[in-house]
Amino acid sequence: MFKRLFASHKNPYVPGLDNPERVSVSLAGCKLDITLPPHYSSAGFDADVEPKDIPNIHERSIYDYGHEYEDNKFSYANCIRRNWEFFGPIWKFDSIGMTDFQVTSLRVDCLPEGMSCFNPAILEQVVMRYLYETGPAMPDYGRKLAPVNWQVEIKQGNPWILFEQHKDLPADKPEEHEDSNFKAFAVTALDDHYILFLRFINFGSMPVAESIEAANKVRDLVIGSIHWQLSDHAEERKQEVISKYPSTSITPDRQPATWRYPAKWRDGIASQGETRAVILEPGDPAPEFHIEPLHGE
């Protein structure tokens, strides 16, 4: 209660942040241990997905997101999904921000056969393709600035990529509270065509910079708590891939992509098998996947 009394926009109160729980989930035998604040909804809603194991990540029926359209590039299966709310000055009864946090097995449907996310360079390409598909390929959602704050970390011998996706706003645009809405991510390889995908969907308020900083403080606590252990099978596959491509690596520092967005589009008709947005005047094409020659060739 003391922290609630002295909360501010810069240092908001997050219910449960001082009393987090250690959560463990298994995805095809790979184990994620992570420390999370408890789910909180001032409206009284339950968490969308309480922590649960995914014994078989290859079971197609569990990927129930995005199947309205036929051209899925990525498919999602959540094993954790909960909300956290941020409260400012005591005289503001409503929350000033919220994070929708998700832990997902992300199936990379667009990755060609023969390529593996255990190859660090391919993992990086998958991230960039995801940002393209949620950026220029979705022009009706507005222009995006990504990747922002790109970082590469090693956790228990496995490379993780951390990055953010913001709105791409003109420098002279007057500040609005929607400008504080952004997404942050942490990803690592789960299998050849699957990645462990942590997503923080943040909704904030003004001042924008303070709102983003507050959301990222919680994100940093969560990511810093991760312990990720591959299954014996996944570890064996990872070593097999790395032995073929020993010099592969992830770019340590990336600036936001400068993709040219489509100039004209219309809404797709799902019943006719169209994409969600039908591009009429295209911008830059999607980045292609490529792979270096095998070791010794």
Within 10 A of 119 (CB to CB), how many other CB atoms are there? 23
Indicate if the alpha-carbon torsion angle 3, 163, 142, 67 is positive or negative. Answer: negative
Structural domain span for residue 167: 2-281
The reply to whether 189 falls in a domain is yes
The reply to whether 290 falls in a domain is no
What's the number of CA atoms in the CB half-sphere (13 Å) around residue 266?
A: 5
The reply to whether 294 falls in a domain is no
Give mean pLDDT, residues 191-212: 97
Residues 6+ apart with CB under 8 A from 110: 73, 74, 129, 133, 289
Q: How would residue 294 be classed by pLDDT, with cut points 50, 70 and 90?
A: low
The reply to whether 171 falls in a domain is yes
What's the number of CA atoms in the CB half-sphere (13 Å) around residue 258?
A: 1
The reply to whether 199 falls in a domain is yes
pLDDT above 80: residue 71: no
Q: What are 141-176's pLDDT values in tens digits? A: 999 999 999 999 999 999 999 999 999 998 888 889
Q: How many structural domains comprise the chain?
A: 1
Q: What is the pLDDT of residue 271?
A: 82
pTM: 0.94
Q: How would residue 68 be classed by pLDDT, with cut points 50, 70 and 90?
A: very low
Q: How would residue 297 be classed by pLDDT, with cut points 50, 70 and 90?
A: very low
Q: What is the pLDDT of residue 93?
A: 86
The reply to whether 234 falls in a domain is yes
The reply to whether 292 falls in a domain is no
Within 10 A of 167 (CB to CB), how many other CB atoms are there? 17
pLDDT mean across residues, the chain: 93
Q: Could you tell me what percent of the chain has a pLDDT over 70?
A: 95
Pair 200, 182: CB distance under 8 Å: no
The reply to whether 263 falls in a domain is yes
Q: Which stretch of 1-10, 39-48, 68-77, 280-289 has the lowest confidence by average pLDDT?
A: 68-77
